[in-house]
């Protein structure tokens, strides 16, 4: 932020009142801000410094790692819930990803001490993507296992142990990448992203 004193045109040296402490001064000494509805708002140098200290302090003190940690737990818990909903109902509800988006977004927000910011939004969105991915991976592994158990003749090499699928395996990727699926996931990621959106002052 630049420390420029507004001294332009006819407003120079008008007597104004600090909108924070009520002290009187001139527009030459005070800082002028565009307030709501175009009206000017004035701050004396002391109040301006105080406001800036508070803002900088808040930004620095955002506990990013706690926000990440809580968001990660939410992503894993959400993915586990998603997995069980899917295998117990034998149906995959894409809308569960919307719930995952909210769950992760609010966990990040709470972890950050209710503070918001662009960095928290990105962390939240990436954790939603991670949650979607592990849910889909677990679901795919489960259905593959079920299929192999049902069709042993096709897998005579198989010893019955759990099979680890390469996450980049095309069968796995095709199992959940569809236009409608991607749209629902994108909405889930977006929900996780907007929860931590900075509020306008
Ligand atoms: Zn003041």
Q: Are 52 and 42 in contact (CB under 8 A)?
A: no
CATH number of the domain at 51, please: 3.30.60
Q: Region 121-138: what's the mean pLDDT?
A: 94
Give the structural domain span for 160.
64-195
Task: Assess whether 28 and 111 both reside in one domain.
Answer: no
Task: Assess whether 183 and 97 both reside in one domain.
Answer: yes
Using the mean position of ligand 1's atoms as its centre, give its distance from the Cα of residue 5 in Å. 15
Distance CA(168)–CA(175), nearest Å, equals: 11
pLDDT of residue 123: 95
Task: Assess whether 52 and 68 both reside in one domain.
Answer: no
Question: Does residue 130 surpass a pLDDT of 90?
Answer: yes
Predicted TM-score (pTM) of the model is 0.67
Token pair 């998603």 is found at 82
Name residues with Cβ closer than 5 Å to ligand 1, which is an ion.
Answer: 18, 20-21, 23, 44, 47
Give the pairing of strands 40-43 and 31-34.
antiparallel
Using the mean position of ligand 1's atoms as its centre, give its distance from the Cα of residue 58 in Å. 20
pLDDT of residue 106: 96
Using the mean position of ligand 1's atoms as its centre, give its distance from the Cα of residue 20 in Å. 5
The pLDDT tens digits of the residues spanning 4-17 come to 555 555 556 788 99
Question: Does residue 164 surpass a pLDDT of 50?
Answer: yes
Please list the residues that pair with 26 across neighbouring strands: 15
User: How many domains does one find in the chain?
Assistant: 2
Using the mean position of ligand 1's atoms as its centre, give its distance from the Cα of residue 116 in Å. 27
Task: Assess whether 40 and 98 both reside in one domain.
Answer: no
Query: Per the domain annotation, does 100 fall within a domain?
Result: yes
């Amino acid at each position: 932020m630049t420390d420029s004193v507004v001294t332009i045109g006819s407003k120079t040296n008008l007597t104004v009142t600090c909108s924070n402490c009520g002290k009187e001064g001139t527009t030459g000494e005070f800082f002028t801000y565009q307030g709501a509805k175009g009206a000017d708002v004035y701050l004396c140098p002391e109040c301006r410094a105080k406001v800036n200290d508070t803002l900088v302090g808040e930004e620095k003190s955002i506990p990013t790692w706690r926000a990440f940690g809580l968001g990660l737990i939410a992503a894993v818990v959400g993915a586990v819930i998603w997995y069980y909903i899917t295998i117990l109902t034998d149906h995959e509800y894409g809308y569960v990803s919307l719930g995952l988006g909210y769950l992760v977004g609010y966990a990040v927000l709470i972890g950050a001490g209710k503070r918001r910011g662009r960095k928290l939004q990105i962390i939240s969105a990436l954790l939603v993507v991670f949650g979607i991915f592990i849910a889909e991976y677990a679901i795919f592994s489960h259905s593959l296992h079920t299929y192999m158990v049902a069709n042993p003749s096709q897998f005579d090499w198989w010893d019955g142990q759990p099979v680890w699928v390469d996450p980049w395996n095309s069968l796995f990727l095709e199992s959940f990448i569809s236009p409608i699926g991607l749209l629902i996931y994108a909405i889930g990621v977006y929900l996780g992203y907007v929860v931590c959106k900075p509020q306008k002052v």
